[in-house]
């Protein structure tokens, strides 16, 4: 039986982590290696983990709680967990999310059905206060096309919602950039998929991504997110320039414009300082190839703050009205 590592970074999630932990300890699959990385969480998150573990005595020998000596951020916590993983395969679960009880069993079954795989990509539920949205899952048959879609940010590039062969990380020395705590998945996922020999899909929503945590890295406009992506795009360009495939570079250009348009949109909605608008405009490239019309409009009016705010806010209000 294959051993599967479940990797959980922990920081300031006391209100959310119990459901996450219960979903992991309650897995129908037996052979687990469960790694929590305490990134010096200031609350009682780890105490919740320990108290919950008392109700699952069969899991006690499978659980390790590692602690950083100082707070190093999400990327470092993910890296620590990966290098400590002992399983043949691994999955990432953010500590404010949760997985279905048979997630690991279904993924391992899928691997065996396909006579082995490096990656299983499965479905995700996006859980909001009043609704749950399940986007369709479709993985292109061509690996190179999939990598291009990841780089252009046109498909989901989160590392949760996947089961990876552990050696993909360790053999090719794939890690997130420490200090890059927003968008770190985007820096990792295309490289993992580039090295994967066999990628299979499992079109069943098994991961539940929670949109209720106000402390989440992904809410609102974030200056740190902008600075993070200022490191990510050069790193991806360096990596893929060595592969001598112009399509990858074109996809990165598209991905950079997609990120830029998102940052501009969030700036317009949250009325941030002008210096942040200048930061986005000055440090990210603009291309229109492959970029959807609504985002091309945002990019074209990026240097007109009043028009940018009017366009983005009216579009947001219209979307809210039509819901």
- The answer to whether 281 touches 303, Cβ cutoff 8 Å, is yes
Kindly state the average pLDDT of the residues 81-96.
97
* CB contact set of 299 (below 8 Å; sequence gap of 6+): 257, 260, 261, 264, 286, 288, 291
- The answer to whether 228 touches 263, Cβ cutoff 8 Å, is no
* pLDDT tens digits along 238-261: 999 998 889 999 999 999 999 999
Q: What is the pTM of this model?
A: 0.92
How sure is the predictor about 214, in pLDDT bands with cuts at 50, 70 and 90?
Answer: very low
Q: Above 80 in pLDDT, residue 263?
A: yes
* pLDDT tens digits along 295-306: 999 999 999 999
Q: Report H helices in the chain.
A: 17-25, 45-53, 74-84, 103-113, 143-151, 166-172, 184-195, 223-241, 246-270, 274-283, 293-300, 305-322
Question: For residues 258 and 255, what is the distance between their CA atoms, to the nearest angstrom?
Answer: 5
How sure is the predictor about 319, in pLDDT bands with cuts at 50, 70 and 90?
Answer: confident
* pLDDT tens digits along 91-118: 999 999 999 999 999 999 999 999 999 9
Beta strands 162-165; 119-127: pairing state = antiparallel
* Least confident segment among 12-26, 160-174, 278-292, 307-321: 307-321
Q: Above 60 in pLDDT, residue 123?
A: yes
- In this prediction, residue 193 carries a pLDDT of 97
Kindly state the average pLDDT of the residues 286-291.
93
């Amino acid at each position: 039986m294959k051993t599967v590592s479940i990797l959980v970074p922990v920081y300031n999630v006391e209100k959310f982590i119990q459901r996450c932990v219960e979903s992991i300890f309650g897995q129908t699959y037996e052979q687990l290696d469960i790694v929590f990385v305490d990134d010096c969480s200031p609350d009682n998150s780890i105490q919740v983990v320990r108290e919950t573990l008392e109700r699952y005595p069969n899991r006690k020998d499978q659980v390790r709680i590692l602690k950083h000596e100082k707070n190093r951020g999400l990327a470092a916590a993910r890296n620590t967990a990966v290098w400590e993983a002992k399983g043949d395969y691994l999955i990432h679960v953010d500590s404010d999310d949760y997985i279905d009880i048979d997630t690991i069993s279904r993924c391992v079954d899928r691997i065996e059905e396909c006579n082995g795989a490096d990656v299983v990509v499965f479905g995700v539920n996006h859980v909001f206060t009043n609704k749950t949205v399940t986007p369709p899952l479709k993985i292109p048959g061509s690996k190179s096309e999939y990598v291009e879609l990841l780089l252009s940010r046109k498909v989901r590039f989160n590392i949760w919602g996947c089961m990876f062969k552990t050696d993909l990380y360790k053999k090719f020395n794939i890690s997130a950039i420490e200090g890059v705590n927003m968008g770190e998945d985007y820096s990792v996922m295309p490289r993992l998929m580039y090295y994967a020999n066999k990628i299979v899909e499992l079109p069943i929503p098994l991961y539940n991504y929670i949109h209720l945590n106000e402390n989440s890295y992904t809410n609102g406009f974030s200056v740190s997110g902008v600075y993070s992506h200022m490191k990510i795009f050069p790193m991806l360009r360096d990596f893929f320039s060595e592969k001598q495939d112009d399509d990858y570079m074109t996809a990165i250009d598209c991905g950079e414009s997609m990120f830029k348009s998102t940052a501009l949109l969030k700036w317009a909605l949250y009325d941030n300082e002008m210096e942040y608008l200048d930061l986005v405009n000055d440090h990210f490239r603009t291309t229109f190839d492959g970029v959807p019309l609504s985002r091309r409009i945002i990019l074209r009016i990026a240097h007109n703050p009043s028009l940018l705010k009017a366009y983005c806010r009216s579009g947001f209000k219209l979307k809210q009205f039509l819901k």
